[in-house]
Structure 1
Amino acid sequence: MEAQMVELARAAGTAVVTLMATDAWERTRDGVVALWQRVSPARADGVEGELEATRDDLLAAREDGDDLTEQELREEWVGRLRRLLREQPEVADELRRILGELDTRPQDTGAGTVQLRAEASGSGRVYQAGRDQHITER
């Protein structure tokens, strides 16, 4: 398998799992399922269920701070997409298009610059974010 295809599978698998915990999840799921429906309609429903199960596992792993499970989930989807590309190399362009639509970089919302400043003393805590923030304390 060409190195480009392996890299595409790696980028796509990583993006799919990363986006499972974002607002782009539904678009991500729909794009991946649509790809499978085109190349293997009989497996599309199963892929959708596997995506949902992976998302549940990812959210639980993040809640528990389990980075190893998150990495395993990424590798699992990298492998699935690599096998798909090996069996059906003609879907590479469509997979690239889906990745382009699901751009994982932060989007400019036009809201302007965010400036944060905080001070804490003693045992005070400061939590700041210019966007999403997830805090898990035990």
Structure 2
Amino acid sequence: MDAELTALAAAGATALVQSMVGDGWTAARERVVGFFSRRRAAGAAGAAGGEDAVAGELDEAREELVAARDAEDADAAADVQAEWRNRLRRTLRADPEAAAELRALLAELTPADGSEGSGGVVHNSISGGVQHGNVIQAHTVGDVRLG
């Protein structure tokens, strides 16, 4: 069972880090705050903080991740992911029943089609002179009607 929880923690950390740099971070952040703060509330007396503490830790990790990505510092980005992988692994060891909730959260953060999800990278370029029509740059476009 330990190998399964370790793999789940690794998948959760990957999805979390990808979400931190994606457009859907606000919603994902609230779900992750809930996941960790529920564990703290049920944990040992003296566990540091609740929702505000978890939210602050996530915000700090996101700032570190964004700075690492901007500086093209893969090691620093990997450190952020490793930190959350270890935290998830410790959380799952302390509360194995949290695995079901983490799987549900992971399903929300990771698209079913196996793509990178909200943390993916989009690169658009337009060349060839002046464009005389509509130009749309987006990660995902649904039901757009022009004109």
The bucket for the TM-score relative to the shorter chain is 0.7 to 0.9
SS, match of residue 22 in structure 2: coil
1:29–1:117 CA distance, 2 compared to 1 (3 A): closer
Partner of 1:24: 24
Do the aligned partners of 1:21 and 1:55 also contact (CA within 8 Å) in 2? yes
* Structure 1: distance between partners of 2:116 and 2:76: 24
SS, match of residue 38 in structure 1: helix
Do the aligned partners of 2:37 and 2:54 also contact (CA within 8 Å) in 1? no
Aligned residues: 116
1:75 and 2:73 aligned: no
Q: How high is the sequence identity, in percent, across the aligned residues? A: 38
Do the aligned partners of 1:14 and 1:75 also contact (CA within 8 Å) in 2? no
- Shift of residue 19 of structure 1? 1.0
Amino acid paired to 2:53: G
Structure 1 length-normalised TM: 0.73
Partner of 2:40: 40
Q: Trace 1:1-138 onto structure 2 (pairs within 5 A).
A: 2-41=2-41, 42-104=49-111, 105=115, 131=138
* Structure 1: distance between partners of 2:76 and 2:116: 24
Do the aligned partners of 1:27 and 1:102 also contact (CA within 8 Å) in 2? no
Do the aligned partners of 1:33 and 1:44 also contact (CA within 8 Å) in 2? yes
> Which stretches of structure 1, 4 residues or more, deviate above 6 A after TM superposition?
116-119
Q: What residue ranges of structure 2 are gaps of 5+ in the alignment?
A: 42-48, 118-124, 129-136, 140-147
* Structure 1: distance between partners of 2:12 and 2:70: 24
Q: What residue ranges of structure 1 are gaps of 5+ in the alignment?
A: 108-115, 120-129, 133-138
1:82–1:106 CA distance, 2 compared to 1 (3 A): closer
